[in-house]
Amino acid sequence: MLNIRNFTILTEKICQNIRLLSAAVPQPSSTSNNPLASTEVSQTVKEDVLKHPDYFNVHNLFTVKDLFEARVHYGHREGSLDNKMLPYIYGSRLGYTIFDLDKTAEYLRHALNIAAHVAYRGGIILFFMRSPQNAHLVERYAKECGEFAHTRFWRGGIFTNAEKQFKAVTRLPDLCIFLNTLNTILTQHTAVRDSAKMGIATIGIVDSNCNPNLITYPVPGNDDTPIAIELYCKLFKEAILRGKAKRKEHLEL
């Protein structure tokens, strides 16, 4: 049984290598008559989707020029630089830190891929934004892609004491996307630590004054400019919608 499986995996890998990077649908080889075909994608299909390096084509969503024009490369001043961010900083121009956009692009594509996969598996995604200037924008985009947003004061026990907070057994998010990791008093958002505690994967836009250690998939970049935030929102929304569309397609098969 296992040998046959390995063989099939091998043949698939060969096929995929021949195929160009396109989001061609691998035919779901549903070996068993899955009674839950309507509510859950079969495991084999899920595994096939994971094998593809960029199943949802997220690398086409943006270019480095888009990042430049959205001013993603602007960091804060040298004085507020967190040393853990140094690997992602290109340098400092007259006191202002500048992000290395090649690296940012790489990390961002990685993060978008993750978000798309989570959406594909029907995960709950929670957006965080603690800057009042951009909070409404983030809430709007979260609503549009059918996911959730939290741009308000973080009440301590939402993740860690969920049953008492919501007065019922609640399902916690599977992915938290922080569009800025600092709160209004420039300390790390409690939800970063709480997600790490509760074992929730996180994606976070880390600016030059942030600590990227606890974030699973950090994306170094500007988190203050509205135009940069809008760009991130658009990209994540697009990735999530692609993931959901594929999920719907596979559920109907």
Partner 1 sequence: MLRQISRLVDPLKGRNLSLTSSCVESKLLRTSQFSTNASESNAVEDVDTKKTLNKAMRTYLERAREHDEFMKTQRREFEIGKRHLANMMGENPDTFTQEDIDNAIAYLFPSGLYEKKARPMMKPPEEVFPQRKAAEFDETGRPYHFLFYTGRPNFYQILHEAVQHIIELNKFEDAMIRKKLEPDPNLTLELSGSKWIEKEILETNLVETITDKEYSSFINVMDRLASLPYSYRIKDLIMQYRKSLINQSKTFEAIIPQLDENGRQFVSVYECRRKRATASVTVRSPGTGKITINDLGIDYFNGVQQREQASVVWYNIFDRFRGKQQKPRFFYCTEKQRIIMHQRPTHGMGQQRTIGRNNV
Partner 2 sequence: MAGSRLEKIGTIYSRASGLIQSKALNWEDRPLWYDIYAAFPPKEEPRFDRPTPNIQLKQIFYQEDKIRAIFHRNNKKIGAVHLNSKAPSLTQRFIETYTSVNQQYKDGEASEEQLYKEAIDILNRQRGVITVLPAEIEDAEEVSLSGAFKEAQKKQEEQSISIKDIFKD
Residues that bind partner 2 (CB under 8 A): 46-47, 50-51, 78, 81, 83-84, 86-87, 89-93, 97-98, 106-107, 110, 113-114, 117-118, 121-123, 160, 174-175, 193, 196-202, 213-218
Residue 51 interface partner, choices partner 1, partner 2, none, CB cut-off 5-8 Å depending on type? partner 2
Q: Which is nearer to partner 1, 66 or 139 (CB)?
A: 139
| Shortest distance in whole angstroms from residue 99 CB to partner 1 | 30
Residue 50 interface partner, choices partner 2, partner 1, none, CB cut-off 5-8 Å depending on type? partner 2
Residue 126 interface partner, choices partner 2, partner 1, none, CB cut-off 5-8 Å depending on type? partner 1
Nearest to 215 by CA among 121, 141, 155, 128: 128
**How many whole angstroms separate alpha carbon 69 and alpha carbon 83?**
26
- Going by their DSSP bridges, the two strands 125-128 and 175-178 should be labelled as parallel
Q: Which is nearer to partner 1, 20 or 36 (CB)?
A: 36
Contacts of residue 85, defined as CB under 8 A and 6 or more positions apart, other chains included, come to: 75, 97, 206, 207, 208, 209, 210, 212, 220
Q: Which is nearer to partner 1, 87 or 157 (CB)?
A: 157
Measured CA to CA in angstroms, residue 212 lies from 27, 42, 123, 128 at distances of 39, 35, 23, 16
Residue 214 interface partner, choices partner 2, partner 1, none, CB cut-off 5-8 Å depending on type? partner 2
Question: Which runs of consecutive H residues, i.e. helices, occur in 73-225?
Answer: 101-120, 132-144, 162-166, 190-198
Nearest to 152 by CA among 124, 106, 191, 207: 191
| Shortest distance in whole angstroms from residue 79 CB to partner 1 | 32
* Chain-centroid distance, C-alpha 95: 31
Q: Which is nearer to partner 1, 62 or 159 (CB)?
A: 159
Q: Which is nearer to partner 1, 143 or 248 (CB)?
A: 143
Q: How far apart are the first and last CA of the chain?
A: 26
- Going by their DSSP bridges, the two strands 74-77 and 96-99 should be labelled as antiparallel
Positions that interact with partner 1 (CB under 8 A): 1, 5, 32, 34-36, 39-40, 42-44, 122, 124, 126, 136, 139-140, 142-143, 146-150, 152-153, 155, 158, 163, 165-166, 168-173, 198
**How many whole angstroms separate alpha carbon 60 and alpha carbon 109?**
9
Residue 221 interface partner, choices partner 2, partner 1, none, CB cut-off 5-8 Å depending on type? none
Residue 78 interface partner, choices partner 2, partner 1, none, CB cut-off 5-8 Å depending on type? partner 2
